[in-house]
Amino acid sequence: GFFSSCEGNSVERKIYIPLNKTAPCVRLLNATHQIGCQSSISGDTGVIHVVEKEEDLNWVLADGPHPPYMILLDGNLFNRLVMQQLKGTSRVSGLAVSIAKPNPPQGFSPGLKCPNDGFGVYSKDYGPQYAHCNRTVWNPVGSGLSYEDFDFPIFLLEDANETQVIKQCYQDHNVPTDGSGPEYPLCAMQLFSHMHAVTSTVTCMRRNSIQNTFSINPETVCDPLLDYNVWSTLHPINSSEKVDPKKEFIMVATRIDSHSFFWNIAPGAESAVSSFVTHLAAAEALHKASDVHLLQRNIMFTFFQGETFDYIGSSRMVYDMEKDKFPLRLENIHSFVELNQVALRNGSILWMHTDPVSRLNKKLHIQNKKGGTVNSSVGANVTLQEVGFSQSLPPSSFQRFLRARHIPGVVLTDHQASFQNRYYQSMYDTPENIRMQYPEGLSPEETLEYVTDTAKSLAEVATVVARALYRLAGGANDTSAIQADPKTITQMLYGFLIKMNNSWFQSIIKPDLKGILGDDVPQHYVAVSSPVNTTYLVQYVLANLTGTVVNLTKEECLNPEKTPNAEKEMYDYAWVQGSLDPNSTSRVPYCVRSTVRLSKALSPAFELREWGSTEYSTWTESRWKEIRARIFLVASKELEIITLVVGIAILVFSLVATHFINAKADVLFSIPRDPGAVAY
Amino acid sequence: MTLAVFFGCTFIAFGPAFSLFLFTIARDPLRIIILIAGAFFWLVSLLLSSLIWFIAVKASDPRDEPLQKGLLIFGVMFSVLLQEAFRFLYYKLLRKAIEGLVALSEDGCSPISIQQMAYVAGVGFGLMSGAFSMINLLADALGPGTVGIHGDSQLYFLTSAFMTMVLIFLHTFWGILFFHGCENRHWWEIVAVVVMHLAVSGSTFCNPLYVGSLVPSYVLMAIAAVWAYMLSGGSVQNLRRFLLCAQSGASPQPAS
């Protein structure tokens, strides 16, 4: 035998270069539509064309002689105009987008101009003049690209090195020479992202139930988006019983998820992280206040998951409260404070949004109370200001609560009318968007500890919120002692935006969860398997910031029902890893007692089996088998046909020749004169 | 449409071997058995030689390029010698088999001669060698891509197919030569087979300079073909008679 290559490379490695750092665009479905992208079942192949300016598109759309093309699109051209052109032609078999560095200066948002429209409180029955963003367009940069349906695959190239490899291949083989087309072999790309679900949630859930009923090996085609809400109360409550209807709670809410055009890319710095980090810091500050146990109203800190997709978490909590499946009922909620997007304040102003319709219907005192607390914010660098009277609430979880019951409440944001965030729900909503900057040359530990200006700004907001909550809960003392800690905030911002695998997060989670702390950029997509990393981390950070360390052994901590005085219904016990001993490799674990709990965040539409509901979120994510991308060279059709023809010719010739040789064997091979020998 | 490349390369590499099998081996069960046993012997020789090479590679430093190249050359040469050794072992086995067949037969003659066994054994060796050379290439030829993105030649599949074809032929002829040499104690024939095999395998180190490996291999194949033909009872007159009869379209005699 012989070896056909010197290093023993497999043939596949000679042909294909796999693209490993990519993110696909997947298919999501709701009650009536499908959005996202789809590829053929055996992948889509096309000749690569690099589009860096608008003129390059003409080659793809009209002039190029080797359609279909796979486009490598520069991030700055990834806009609605270009995508409409690509959608309309059959000469495009797929798209690979390279992330634009730096962020596009004019802003980029593939979300809707009017997020979560139709699932908030404004409808034709309630404040119709505010419905469908008639008065205020919240996300003017929004192109709605995420909510369109594409029939070709679209991938994001996250690694600049891989993009360079593709561009090099294009330069070597695909560049047109003097007006005529380039010659074979050409550089091509193949994208696999075949989605199993079609049409809508109604269709895919129906197919799921058919599979589950009749098939021995059921193939599910789609999964509802679900996760868990994280909630905790200032004073512990008995979670297995219903709370006394006369007890009043102040509900503080933020969302903890985000989205972008591509699957599992959702940095959500301004849209989610800034708000829940501020919320966590305010919770910590409140718990540290000295007379917290004397407050007449309890405070419930709630972190809703899935809000990006038509308020999955908050609609579920409202539903549970209405159906008595939650310890609280809607009647217990005295007032509602929500934090949305608070990192990009203009100057020192923090805007308070209230619902104009219920303000007209009911005389509310919430503004007075908040106005009273403005004084307490003197000293902090935050000015609370109300927006104009004729503006609706921005898209917020509060709207779902208002749908069920008139509750007084405010939504605090950094924008007066449209979002300050020009990268709402996009892959560019990164730490740079909230002006997080670190000096050069810091080690990861030093970066974790470094207090950025963003952290200081959020600390001011958290302080104001904590003091206002203290007042709302009936606290009468001086609030100057209630201060949010910028050090905690900067550590949280680092952990949730830059690297989850840091020493602080490692010390506060359960030992068997340390696998969730990855070294990649954290993403906050709600996903279909739960709980996601973000939910776990919010849970454990909240437990660490608001809970107390108790002196229990591991057995007692893991089995609180057997421990006397543990009061399992009032508290949650967690056995966490603890920090690393400085000189050894072992950790010192301990038990944390807190009031942090998880509640399921699955849209009520799936509980009620109303797949076509217009009342509740019906978002599902399609399933798929394999998602990958690779580049290679393709040979001309002529060479392939020549190979086939040569092969057939050789086969036919050898058949004919062998037949004749065999037939005339006695002529060709003469019988030897020796009679004992045998002839052919 | 790389199904075209797949079928094209399959036909190029295995077309002649397939037609040899179909017309000369398939009808006789005894020949089929000898074919398959021969293939198996080649397989065992490959297994043993690759084991040695694998151990040598694992025991050495993977980053040392010249050492790895040297180990590969050593592995190839060792494999060639081992294949020829197994050919000799197979010869011994078939000799014993002939004695058994003679004992079993009614007229004291073996139904198959050692020359026929030599030919079938050669085809067996060749087919298995070809399969191992070509099958993984064919599997990758089915995909949409062709070789070349890292700078290798685009003609990789084609040249591999032609190389496989020539190797199958070579093994057939070497089988005839080798057995004849063992039978008649003509040691130079055995040495010539080994030397030719080493030369052909060594020439593949010239790849991707395909002219350096294909051309010498085809030249050697022609030489081996002529030699094997002569040893099998052929001559120039027979050849002339065959060609003239074929041209005059005489009815074919029953095949042997």
Of B83, B140, B235, the CB nearest to A15: B140
Q: Is position B246 within any domain?
A: no
CA–CA separation, A122 vs A129, rounded Å? Answer: 8
Q: Is position B17 within any domain?
A: yes
Residue of A2, A187, A636 for testing the chain B interface, max B β-carbons within 10 Å: A2
Query: Touching check for B241 and chain A: CB below 8 Å?
Result: yes
Mean pLDDT in residue range A576-586? 83
Residue of B11, B43, B247 for testing the chain A interface, max A β-carbons within 10 Å: B11
Q: Find the radius of gyration of the CA atoms of chain A.
A: 31
Residue of B1, B23, B220 for testing the chain A interface, max A β-carbons within 10 Å: B23
pLDDT at A63 over 80: yes
Cβ contact, residue pair B144, A679, below 8 Å? no
pLDDT at A372 over 50: no
Residues 6+ apart with CB under 8 A from A82: A54, A57, A73
According to the model, what pLDDT value does residue A389 have?
Answer: 76
Q: Is position B226 within any domain?
A: yes
Cβ contact, residue pair B205, A6, below 8 Å? yes
Is there a contact between A302 and A328 (Cβ–Cβ < 8 Å)? no
The H or E element that residue A626 is part of is strand A624-634
CA–CA separation, A423 vs A110, rounded Å? Answer: 8
pLDDT, tens only, B167-199: 999 999 999 999 999 999 989 999 999 999 999
Cβ contact, residue pair A185, B1, below 8 Å? no
Q: Which residues of A272-283 are buried (b: 16+ CB within 10 A; e: fewer)?
A: bbbbbbbbbbbb
Cβ contact, residue pair A632, B242, below 8 Å? no
Mean pLDDT in residue range A127-145? 92
Of A658, A668, A679, the CB nearest to B239: A668
**Average pLDDT of chain A to the nearest whole number:** 89
CA–CA separation, A538 vs A496, rounded Å? Answer: 9
Cβ contact, residue pair A658, B19, below 8 Å? yes
Of B12, B22, B148, the CB nearest to A647: B12
Q: Residue A662's closest chain B neighbor by CA?
A: B255
3-state secondary structure of A46: strand
pLDDT at A394 over 70: yes
Smallest CA–CA separation between A83 and chain B, in Å?
A: 27
State ipTM: 0.92
According to the model, what pLDDT value does residue A316 have?
Answer: 96
Amino acid, res. A165? V
pLDDT, tens only, A614-673: 999 999 999 999 999 999 999 988 999 999 999 999 999 999 999 988 888 888 887 554
Q: Is position B180 within any domain?
A: yes
Q: Is position B59 within any domain?
A: yes
Q: Residue A665's closest chain B neighbor by CA?
A: B255
pLDDT, tens only, A254-265: 999 999 999 999
Dihedral, CA of residue B100, residue B105, residue B111 and residue B115, to nearest 10: 40
Task: Give the 3-state secondary structure of A246-263.
Answer: CCCEEEEEEECCCCCCCC
pLDDT at A6 over 50: no
Residues 6+ apart with CB under 8 A from A151: A37, A38
Cβ contact, residue pair A633, B252, below 8 Å? no
Of B11, B204, B246, the CB nearest to A647: B11
Q: What is the pTM of this model?
A: 0.89
Give the number of other CB atoms < 10 A from CB of residue B1. 11
Q: Is position B61 within any domain?
A: yes
Cβ contact, residue pair A643, B157, below 8 Å? yes
**Structural domain span for residue B182:** 1-144+156-234
Q: CA angle at residue A356 from A353 to A357, to 5 degrees?
A: 140
Is there a contact between B233 and A669 (Cβ–Cβ < 8 Å)? yes
User: Which residues of chain A are within 8 Å of residue B149 when distances are taken between CB atoms?
Assistant: 14-17, 169, 187, 631-633
Q: Is position B172 within any domain?
A: yes
Q: How many domains does chain B have?
A: 1
Q: Is position B243 within any domain?
A: no
Query: Touching check for B201 and chain A: CB below 8 Å?
Result: yes
A7 band by pLDDT with thresholds 50, 70 and 90 = very low
CA–CA separation, A112 vs A129, rounded Å? Answer: 19
Find residues 32-91 of chain B whose CB sits inside 8 Å of chain A: 46, 68-69, 72, 75-76, 79, 83
Cβ contact, residue pair B133, A7, below 8 Å? no
